[in-house]
Amino acid sequence: MQNLRRVLAVCLMGLIVASGVYAGDVGKININTATAEQLTQLNGIGASHAAAIITYRQKNGPFQKPEDLMQVPRIGEKTFEKNRAMISVQKPKKRQAKK
């Protein structure tokens, strides 16, 4: 049983590494790819703020660093600081064109 747990743990770690998610980012919300529903899990972010974040990233491209979230209208330093530990900024994966 203990060997099975070790194998499962190693497999899980391999999946995390292969997916490009770092241990420090597990449980964080990637503001470059999050849905409106996921964004509303952040403190002080309701449906209208989530929509503003999505609109901003569609117009301006992916966020380069977490602090860029403060460039979204009506999201200030206080809201950012409440969520700093929950925010991840990873580049969205490029979609391959179908052949």
Token output for 55: 């609109």
Question: φ and ψ at 9, to 5 degrees?
Answer: -65, -45
In tens, the pLDDT along 47-82 reads: 999 999 999 999 999 999 999 999 999 999 999 999
Q: Which residues touch 99 (CB under 8 Å, ≥6 apart)? A: none
CATH topology assigned to domain 24-88 = DNA polymerase; domain 1 (1.10.150)
pLDDT-derived band at 2 (thresholds 50, 70, 90) equals confident
Task: Write the CB contacts of 63 (distance below 8 Å, at least 6 apart in sequence).
Answer: 31, 32, 57, 69, 89
Q: How confident is the model at residue 91 (pLDDT cuts 50, 70, 90)?
A: confident
pTM value surpassing 0.85: no
Percentage helix, strand, coil, to 5, in the chain?
55, 5, 40
Does residue 15 surpass a pLDDT of 50? no
Residue 78: name the closest of 48, 44, 46 by CA. Answer: 44
Which residue, among 34, 49, 48, has the nearest Cα to 82 in the 3D structure? 49
